[in-house]
Structures are given as structure tokens and as C-alpha cells.
Amino acid sequence: MEGIRAFLLTLLVLLGSGAAPAGTNAAAGPTAQATSPIVSQAAPVDRATPAPPAPPRGFASKVVPAAQMGRLPASSSKQPFFRGGVHSRAGAPTSSTTPAPRVASSSPKIAVYNGLNKPGLNAAGIPSTPPDSTGAIGPNNYVEFVNSRIAVYDRSLNLLSSTSLDAFIGQGAGVPLCDPQIQWDPAANRWLYAFLYCNTASSVQRLPFGWSKTSDPSNLTSGGWCQFAVVNDPFLMDYPKLGHNSHYLIVGGNLYNETTPSTNPPFVSAGILWAPLPASNSDTTCNPPNLGATPLPLMNGDGTTPAFTPVPVNTDSNSTDGYVLSAYDPSGSNGVAATPQSKLAVWHLDSAGVLHPDADIAVNQYTWPFNAPQSGTSNQLDTLDGRLSQAVGDPATGIWTQHTVNGAGNRSVVDWYELTFPGSNPIQQGIVSSPTDFVFNAAISPTSDAHGAAIEYNRSSSTILPTIAAQIRTASTPAGTMEPGESVLATSSAADGDFSCINSGGANCRWGDYSAATPDPIQTNVVWGTNEFNTAAGSPPAWSDENFALLVAVAPHAPTGVVARAGDQSAWVGWTPSTFDAGTPTTSYKLTAYVAASPVATLTVAAPATAAIFKGLTDGTTYTFTVIAINVIGPSPESASSNPVTPTRAVQQLSSPPPLPTRSPVNQVSPAPSPPPR
């Protein structure tokens, strides 16, 4: 408590005196981190010390219904949206004027699912940049968010509804709303959202958030959503990242002091807040929840360095623990001198709403990246500052996260990690890189069956325009690697040269600031994503989103309905192939004959056969049969056993399959595949 009290007293003096210039991004002095658990509490008054000037309201002071947060001023500014922290470093190689032809090798284990690779929202009518492209998949819908609009699609990416973010929360046109976040909550079949009132013109600060009243997100009004706002004057909670467990909505972000309004306010601390979720997705009361929040400053696990950009995990299961991850800041964005780092900080929120600091995770050393060049222009793209930008998964089966860092030849690369809790972390870590291009603005997600993962990203260089591409890994892919080759999803038709480049002196164009990847809860080997590309040159923003579904090739599911008919020293065996789309076709089927519980013979037939004559059996012996489907990834689980049959000499030798039984065989569910090897 002494450390917290000292910090708060220092902060009060800072707010009263304006001692930290707006351009310094100075962090509050480090203090010892609160011991587990972390709770939000007021510092006691030291009555021996004269009271400092009364401060503005503190971090996350209260929650109000969105309709009661006040009419927020509109903005006509042509400045890019605020993002705190440093930008990527200048000094990337100079561009050439002629794009070189580039054909990426394709991977046989990645494909676009059902042809779902379509343009989404774009800058037309949205005079803002960067787009902060994100999205999430649910059982029936894909929901896309950008600065400053929302769109709801069906699972074929047909548009169902769309509106501006200001209309979504009942505000007037032109209110600057940014940093949108959207997630599907499988624990209660609902949607969660959060975004930021991007206000650097006054000390009025709000963080809108909420959830859908049902599993249907398409009613984009207060009739379809419970909508609230955190009143957190004067702290702008920049780069808010959304996550959840089965009980709480969790938001992490970086706090900047707007007591004296500034387009470059001083950094105060990172912070995490959480709100209890209703038990079901039929919430019609929409009562404002009570918030929990971290005391300030929030420190890394070493207790001495300020945390920066805490990222709650998008939990894709019913887990009661919600994890929060943060990369130690390598760039100096947290007010500490820039230095290479090699740790991830970890916290978890339990089912009772208590936040616990966990042990740091040691990872390979990283530092913040350089700008990415583009073909045909001196304008370079901002690749961020080494922060994590999203995390998704389950604590037991694997949480995946990534960030853009510096790589060989001073080209940006993406470091990715798989973590489990408990576990000997990282379970694995890898790099997505190119010998010629800068790789950045990525998002990674496991498949919902935890048997694979997909990562999507941008590539750019002095010889190519910004491109969206993706890679995957399966359970059999060597640890720390992706499968060879990539899938190119979209390519820019012009270099980015919008007003964010002009405002930064022509050296650094805002891009991102993030993209999205989420696991499909229905098609369990599909990951959906959203990223941006550019469509035109010139000062007006010309970004466009691309929404896509990536099929991670896996082994087939087991055949069903295995039926047998006896012959003379033989049996006819028929089966129904699984309708599950494994990503690559089934190439063969392996039949196994059993006597009692012992396998005695096998037979392999080429696909697309759905029946076979199993010869070489012994008359008078009773057999059952199972079938396994095989593709290039491997074999399926074994099917359920057929009915028992006894070959006999009295039965005519089967030369062709007999008709199927008149009754429909019962489709039996195959055993769940075991978790992939780590």
C-alpha cells in the first residue's frame, strides 16, 4: 500500500502542476506491484501531510447506461486517430518504382473455406484512418468493426445490417469513436463489444462497452444490445483490448492524462477493468454492472517496470479463468528507456472477479520494429512498437498471441506464442518472416478443436504493395513452425499515401493498428479473419477490409453408419462418409475386421468408395468391422463397429454389394480426437 499511496500522491501533484510536458509520454515512477490478489481500492489519507489539490475523477470511476453518458461532441478533424506510444522506427530500405513479380508458394494444407474471401467495410464515407480492422465469428454470423462502423453478416458473408458506431450507441453523427473490439462469448451465446471515445479535445473520457441481448447481433440498436459507458475522466484509455472468461467482460488499455487536453498527452499507466456478465444471453434489464479495476500503476511481474498494453484473452471456451497478457515494452512507450525485452507479463481473473498476477514468461529476445516500405513511394507503413495486439484460446488447450518485432535485415517479423495454464510456457514460439518483405499487423488463432492454428498478416516491401496473406499449422506440424507456403488473400492496388502520411512528415503512414483472427465454433477447423489493404493513392483514406475464412486441413472425421452383410468366406461392408470438411479430400478408407475385441485383418480401398467386399474370412466365425478415413494429413478416428455377421458356405459368394438395409442405420458419434502433441 505504501507504493500505491506514494504513486497517487505523486500523480495528484502531477495533475495539479502539469509538471510532465505533453510530449514526453513520461510514465509515473515505478513502485512495488500489489501482491496477489489485485483489487481496486482507495489509498488511505495521510493526515500528517497537507492535502494536495483535489484531483479529477479517477480511472474507471463509474458505469452508466449509454443513453446517460451525455451528448459527446462531434469532430471534423482530419488527423488520424490517436494512438499512444512510439511508432515503428524509420530507416527501412528505400523503395523501387517498379513492383517485382511475386508469386507466393501455396500450401496444400490451407484453403479458403467455401470461397469465403470477400471485401468488407471500406473508407468510403468514413473519413478516418487507420481502420482498426477487426471481426469475430459466431454460430450464425460474422461481425466486423472498423473506425467507425459495424457490419453484421451471415456465415456466407452476405450483409445483414450495418450502422455507424455513433448511431449504434445513440450519439450524434461525427463523434470520434475508435479502437473497436468485438467477440463471441460461447459460454452464454452472446456478443461482447468495447471501443473508445477518441477525444483529445477535452478531459471528458468515455469507454463504451456492452453485450447483445440474444445470440442475434443484427439489431444494431439498444433493442438488440445492452449498452454502457465507463466514465473515466480525465484518463483516455487508449488501445483498449477486449477479452472475457465465462463470468466477466475484461478490458485492458493504456491510460493517458487529458486533464490539459492534448493530441500527445502524457502516459500515466496501463490499466485493466472488468465487468460481471449476466448468466444468460436473454438479458432484458441491462442494469449497469459494477466495475473492478486495477490500482495504478500497473506493473509487470518484475515489480519495477510499468506494464504496457495489457491484452485480455478472447476465451473460446467456458473457462472460468480469464487471462491477460502483456509483452514487456521494448520501445520506451511506457516511459522507461527503450531496450530489448524477453518477457511476457501475465495476470488472470478468477470466477469471483479477483485479479491475480502470475509469473512472467521468458521468451526469445525481441525489440521494436522498423517501418515497412511500399513499392513506388517513399511513404512507409507504421508497424507498431512491439506490443501484443490480440490473444485467443483456452487456458488448458492453448492460448495464442503475437506481436510485430524487428527481424533479420531490420525487416519486421511476427513472433507468435502458444501458452497453457498451468504449463511450462511457452509451449512453443515461432516467427513468421520473409527474406525480402516486411511482415506485420498479424493476428493468430487456434481452431476451436485445438488441432491447428492460422495466422494472417500483411506483407510489404520496396518491390511489392501491401498484401494480406496467411499460414497455418496442424497438430503434426513441427513445433515452432508453420506449414510451408502461404495463401495470398488480397493485394493493394496502390501504395498508402493518405493524410496520416502527410501529418507524419511523409515518413510513417498509419496502418492497422491491428487485425483479427477468431476460431469458428461450428466448423471446428476454420479460423475467420479481417485485415486491411489499400485501394487508391492520394490523401483521402482508401483502405478496405478483407473478410475471410481459412480452412486448416486436418484428418477426416470418422465414417458413420457402418453396416455388414455376410457372404461365403467374405462380408460386404458399407459406410457413410463424414460430411465434415477436413480441408483436403479423403484418399482412402481402411477397414478392420474384428473377432470379439481382437483385430484380425485389414483392407484398404480407394476413395470415393462407400462399400467393399472383405474377403478371406473364415466361415462360421462372427466378425464386426470398423472403418477409418484417410487424407494427406492422416487417419480419422475409428468408426463405431458394424453389426456382427457370420460368413457361411450356405450364403452365395458376394460379387456385388447387396442393397442397403431398409432401416436407416444409427449415426454414431466417433470418440473425440485426443489433444495434439505439443
More confident residue, 32 or 105: 105
Mean pLDDT, residues 76-81 taken together: 69
pLDDT at 68 over 70: yes
pLDDT at 171 over 70: yes
Expressed as residue numbers, the domain containing 577 is 555-678
- Other C-beta atoms closer than 10 Å to the C-beta of 107 total 17
Query: Which span out of 80-89, 110-119, 395-404, 550-559 was modeled with the highest average pLDDT?
Result: 395-404
Residue 581 and residue 585: Cα distance in Å, rounded?
A: 8
Placement of cell 517513399 in the chain = 378
- Residue 659 has what DSSP assignment? P
**Percent helix, strand, coil in the chain (nearest 5)?**
5, 40, 55
Q: Are 543 and 458 part of one and the same domain?
A: yes
The DSSP secondary-structure symbol of 173 reads T
* pLDDT 10s digits, 263-295: 999 999 999 999 999 988 777 889 999 999 999
- For residue 539, the tally of other CB atoms under 10 A from its CB is 12
pLDDT band per the 50, 70, 90 thresholds, residue 419: very high
| 3-class secondary-structure state, position 13 | helix
What is the pLDDT, as a whole number, of residue 26? Answer: 33
Confidence of residue 434 (pLDDT cuts 50, 70, 90): very high
The last residue of one of the domains, among 552, 568, 588, is 552
Residue 46 reports pLDDT greater than 60 = no
Residue 36 pLDDT greater than 80, yes or no = no
In a domain, 266, yes or no: yes
Q: Are residues 502 and 622 in the same domain?
A: no
DSSP notation for 289-356: PPPEE--SS-B-TTSSSB----EE-EE-S--S-EEEEEEPPSSSTTSSPP--EEEEEEEEE-TTS-EE
The predicted structure's pLDDT at residue 60? 63
β-sheet bridge partners, residue 572:
565, 613
User: CB neighbours (10 Å) of residue 142?
Assistant: 29
Residue 110 lies in a domain: yes
Q: In what order do the strands lie in the sheet with 543-552?
A: 110-122, 543-552, 526-534, 516-519
Average pLDDT, the chain: 86
Task: Give pLDDT, residue 247.
Answer: 96
**pLDDT tens track for 133-157:** 999 999 999 999 999 899 999 999 9
Residues 283 and 426 in one domain: yes
Report, as an integer, the average pLDDT of 156-184.
Answer: 95
Tell the residue number behind the cell numbers 510513417, with chain if given: 508
Whether residues 565 and 540 share a domain: the answer is no
Residue 652 in domain: yes
Q: Which residue has the higher pLDDT, 427 or 56?
A: 427
Same domain, 393 and 253: yes
More confident call, 245 vs 12: 245
* Least confident piece of the model among 38-42, 297-301, 532-536, 542-546: 38-42
Task: Find the DSSP H helices in 18-94.
Answer: none
Whether residues 548 and 641 fall in one domain: no
Give the pLDDT confidence score for residue 87 in this predicted structure. 78
Report yes or no on 193 lying in a domain: yes
Confidence of residue 92 (pLDDT cuts 50, 70, 90): low
For residues 460 and 299, what is the distance between their CA atoms, to the nearest angstrom? 35
- End-to-end, the C-alpha distance of the chain in Å comes to 41
pLDDT tens digits, 601-658? 999 999 999 999 999 999 999 999 999 999 988 899 999 999 999 999 876 555 555 5
Same domain, 308 and 432: yes
DSSP string, 240-306: EEEEE-SSEEEEEEEEEE-SS--SSPPEEEEEEEEEEPPSSS---S-PPPPPEE--SS-B-TTSSSB
Name residues whose C-beta falls within 8 Å of residue 106's C-beta, 6 or more positions apart in sequence.
Answer: 485, 486, 487
pLDDT of residue 554: 83
> Do 273 and 309 fall within a single domain?
yes
Q: Is residue 9 part of a domain?
A: no
Structure letter (DSSP) for residue 410 = G
H-assigned helices in 452-558: 499-503
Label residue 101 by pLDDT band (50, 70, 90): very low
State yes or no: pLDDT of 105 exceeds 60: no
Task: Tell me whether residue 263 is in a domain.
Answer: yes
Give the mean pLDDT of 92-117: 61
Split at pLDDT 50, 70, 90, the class of 669 is very low
Q: Are 29 and 4 in contact (CB under 8 A)?
A: no
Q: Which comes out higher in pLDDT, residue 293 or 668?
A: 293
Helix (H, G, I), strand (E, B) or coil at 624: strand
Q: What is the pLDDT of residue 243?
A: 98
Task: Indicate if 545 and 437 belong to the same structural domain.
Answer: yes
Confidence of residue 47 (pLDDT cuts 50, 70, 90): very low
Q: Which residue has the higher pLDDT, 334 or 678?
A: 334
- The CATH number assigned to the domain holding 523 equals 2.130.10.10
> CA 488, 491, 495: angle at the middle one, nearest 5?
145
Same domain, 229 and 373: yes
Q: Is the pLDDT of residue 455 over 50?
A: yes
**Per-residue confidence (pLDDT) for residue 515, from 0 to 100:** 98
Whether residues 442 and 559 share a domain: the answer is no
> Is pLDDT above 50 for 34?
no
Q: Is 67 exposed, middle or buried (0-12, 13-18, 19+ CB in 10 A)?
A: middle
d(Cα 520, Cα 610) in Å, to the nearest integer? 29
Q: Single out the residue in 531, 552, 573 at which a domain terminates.
A: 552
What does the pLDDT read at residue 674?
47
SS3 call for 491 = strand
Of the candidate ranges 208-222, 348-362, 435-449, 649-663, the one whose mean pLDDT is the lowest: 649-663
- Per-residue pLDDT at 502: 73
pLDDT of residue 127: 79
CATH label of the domain that carries residue 655? 2.60.40.10
On the question of pLDDT at 55 being above 60, the answer is no
Pairing of strands 588-595, 598-606: antiparallel
The pLDDT of residue 444 is: 98
Instruction: Say which residue the cell 462399400 belongs to.
Output: 611
Cell triple for residue 138? 459466431
> Is residue 278 a part of any domain in this protein?
yes
The pLDDT, as a whole number, for residue 580 is 86
Q: In this structure, is residue 61 part of a structural domain? A: no
Contacts of 505 (CB under 8 A, 6+ apart): none
Residue 531 has pLDDT above 70, yes or no: yes
- Most confident among 87-96, 119-128, 241-250, 503-512 (mean pLDDT): 241-250
Percent of the chain with pLDDT over 70: 83
The domain tally of the chain equals 2
Phi and psi at 334, nearest 5°, equal -90, 10
| Mean pLDDT in residue range 22-48 | 34
* Same domain flag for 458 and 572: no
Domain boundary among 552, 572, 598: 552
Residues 6 or more apart in contact with residue 317 via CB below 8 angstroms: 186, 187, 394, 396, 397
